Amino acid sequence: MNGYIIVLPEGVLSSEQRAERISRELYCVTAPLATQEPYQHDGKVFGMVEHPDGVQFALQVDTEYNIPVSPLATLERLISLMTELTEIEVRELSSYVLNSQSFPFGAIVPSTTTVRTYEEMVELGWFSEEQEFD
């Protein structure tokens, strides 16, 4: 499923910074930092969209997007960014991910997180819907 996850600011991180880091850490699950070539230093998995207010950001996600897991992957940094996860979810997530060769992104979305459709984002004022005329 394609959709959007609105990322709230957390601690010192703005919405944009947090969304960007989550996307970055997802990339590092496949290519851990220690193994990265210079061209991988900016790699991210998902893109972001910006609310017209310039403050809120959302990740544009595909819940079926498959993320391979490197044998050298660690999840601490990713989990620290996903504060919505409960302790139980953290344990289950870590176990699941680190024991998998790959996983769909949807499998690690916190239970309290909503993946919104484009239409819902339009209703929430994220997009000014512009359609082509025939």
Partner 1 sequence: MNVGKAVYGILSSTSAVTDIVSTNIFPEIAEQETATPFIVYQLQGVSPEDTHDGPSKLDEVRMEIICFSDSYNGAADLADKVRGALDRVSGTYNGVNVESVQFNNVDIEIEYDPRRYSQVTTYTFRIKRDNITIAAGTPVTGAQLGDLSDVNTTGVTDGQVIAYDAASSVWLAATDAGGAETLNDLTDVILTAPLSLNDVIVYGGASDRFYRNRALNINDLGDVNTLGLTGDSILVYNDSGSEWRVIANRTGTVEDVTAGTGLTGGVITDTGTIALADTAVTAGAYTSADVTIDAQGRITAAANGSAGTFFIQRYLSQANTLRSGATATTEIYFTATAEGNGLSESASSDTPTAGKIINRKIYYSETAFADPDTGTWVEFTPAPADNATFATVKAALFEYLKVRTGGTIPISLKQTWQETEPSTFLLDQSYGSGAEAAYSTRQLRLAQTDCMVIRRASDSTTTTIGFDASGNIDEAAITTFCTGTTCSVQTWKDQSGNGNNATQATAGNQPVIYTGGQLVKEGGRLALDEGYFAISNAPTTASPISLAMVAVHTNGSNKNMWNANEQGTNTNYFYTRSDANNTFDAAIYGGGFVRSRASVNAGQFLGFAEFLVSGSNVTAQAYADGVAASSVSTTPPTGIDVNDIGQFQRASTAFYECNNMQELVVWNSNKSSDRTSIEENIGDYFTQNTPLLDTYSGAAAAYSLRLLDSTYTGSAIRVRRSSDNTEQDIGFNVFSELDTVSLTAFAGAGDAFVKTWYDQSGNSNDATQTTTANQPKIVSSGAVILENGKPAVEFTSNGQILESTSATAFTGVIQNELYCVASYDTINVGNQYASGVKIGGSTRGVMIGTNSSSGQIRYHSNATNFETAVGGTIVAATQVLNGGTYDGTTRHARLNGASVGTNTDAGNTGTANLYFIGKHPNLQNGTSKRVQESIIYAAYNSNESGIETNINTFYNIF
Binding region for partner 1 (CB under 8 A): 2, 23, 27, 30-31, 35, 37, 39-40, 42-47, 60-62, 65-66, 68, 70, 118, 130-134
Q: For residue 74, which of 33, 109, 19 has the smallest C-alpha distance?
A: 33
Residue with tokens 């359609």: 131
Taking the complex as a whole, the smallest distance from the CB of residue 88 to partner 1 amounts, in Å, to: 27
Element of type H or E holding 50: strand 47-50
| Structure tokens that stand for 26 in this block | 């997802």
* 30/90 with CB nearer partner 1: 30
Taking the complex as a whole, the smallest distance from the CB of residue 48 to partner 1 amounts, in Å, to: 9
Taking the complex as a whole, the smallest distance from the CB of residue 21 to partner 1 amounts, in Å, to: 14
Q: For residue 49, which of 128, 131, 126 has the smallest C-alpha distance?
A: 126
* 45/58 with CB nearer partner 1: 45
